[in-house]
Amino acid sequence: MLGRLADVLLPPVCIACRTRIWSHGPLCGACFAKIDFIAPPICARLGVPLPYDAGEPSLSAAAIAKPPVYDRAWAAARYSLTMRDLVQSFKYRDRHEGLPLFARWLVKAGAELLADADLIVPVPLYSSRLWWRRFNQSAMLAYGVARLSDVGVDCFVLRRVRRTASQVGLTADQRRRNVAGAFKVNPARAARVKGKRVVVIDDVITTGATAEASARALQRAGAARVDVLALARAVEPTSFVL
Ligand SMILES: [Zn+2]
């Protein structure tokens, strides 16, 4: 009753394109149809789609040429224009209605990573940025995933120890330098990581620089395995500037 009253006063709009929606759920049908979910066969390390199914875990050429620091980084969907709109409205416009949906997408895409994980850890923001943005979208996603997956979450394990410039518009090399050494494991929480299988939650993986910097910090603290799970992953060819 109250929900229906709220709908009349504040008609629900799509969280991606902001047109009025009549159906149940935070996304309009047109935007949902435009989401390019990543489905097997995928590269076992980088999580990018592979052209054919070899019937066993396979690696992409990129993962063989330059193996990533983390063990696996999988994502729910390609970072398309619609996914960018979704993530930006979640991140910058405080549109959180999509959270339960995003958590379900993450749990589905990361079922294998979460199956034997010990701990979920969000990619942290630097504290002044956290203040500015008032919340950490990755922490919200991490709590959402933990609720659906029976894996514990700790938002205070990984810390961003220095402020980093926004990654937007930087090349892969600049991104790597920008976040190198930006993360540290909180010494008071190091015991929670040592010998454990950790899943890092992020919103978007573009070049993987943040994922690698987070993984390196967790590995230094003795994590047995570090996987990364994200809502979206940039998959070449990208038709727009990330
Ligand atoms: Zn829409």
Candidate from 50-54, 188-192, 195-199 with smallest mean pLDDT: 50-54
Tens digits of per-residue pLDDT, 96-142?
889 999 999 999 999 999 999 999 999 987 665 655 555 688 999 99
Q: Tell me the whole-structure pTM to 2 decimals.
A: 0.88
List the beta strands (DSSP E) in 91-240.
119-122, 152-153, 158-160, 183-185, 197-205, 225-233
Rounded to an integer, the average pLDDT of 211-225 is 96
- Give the per-residue pLDDT at 8: 58
Q: Give Cβ neighbours of residue 191 (< 8 Å, ≥ 6 apart).
A: none
- Give the per-residue pLDDT at 211: 93
| 22 and 14 Cβ atoms separated by less than 8 Å | no
Q: How far is the CA of 189 from the centre of ligand 1 (A)?
A: 41
Tokens of 166: 């926004």
Candidate from 1-5, 57-61, 182-186 with smallest mean pLDDT: 1-5
CA–CA separation, 233 and 242 (whole Å): 11
Q: How far is the CA of 125 from the centre of ligand 1 (A)?
A: 28
Q: How far is the CA of 77 from the centre of ligand 1 (A)?
A: 16
CATH value of 35-233 in 3.10.105.10, 3.40.50.2020, 3.40.50.970, 3.40.50.1970:
3.40.50.2020
Rounded to an integer, the average pLDDT of 152-161 is 91
- Give the per-residue pLDDT at 242: 36
Q: Residue 142's closest CA among 156, 128, 160?
A: 156
Domain boundaries, the chain: 1-34, 35-233
- Give the per-residue pLDDT at 127: 63
CA–CA separation, 201 and 73 (whole Å): 10
Q: How far is the CA of 234 from the centre of ligand 1 (A)?
A: 21
Rounded to an integer, the average pLDDT of 5-21 is 79
CA–CA separation, 227 and 70 (whole Å): 6
Q: How far is the CA of 82 from the centre of ligand 1 (A)?
A: 8
**Ligand 1 ion: nearby residues, β-carbon < 5 Å:** 14, 16-17, 28, 31
Backbone φ/ψ region at 89: left (φ over 0), alpha (ψ -120 to 50), beta = alpha
As a whole number, the mean pLDDT across the chain is: 87
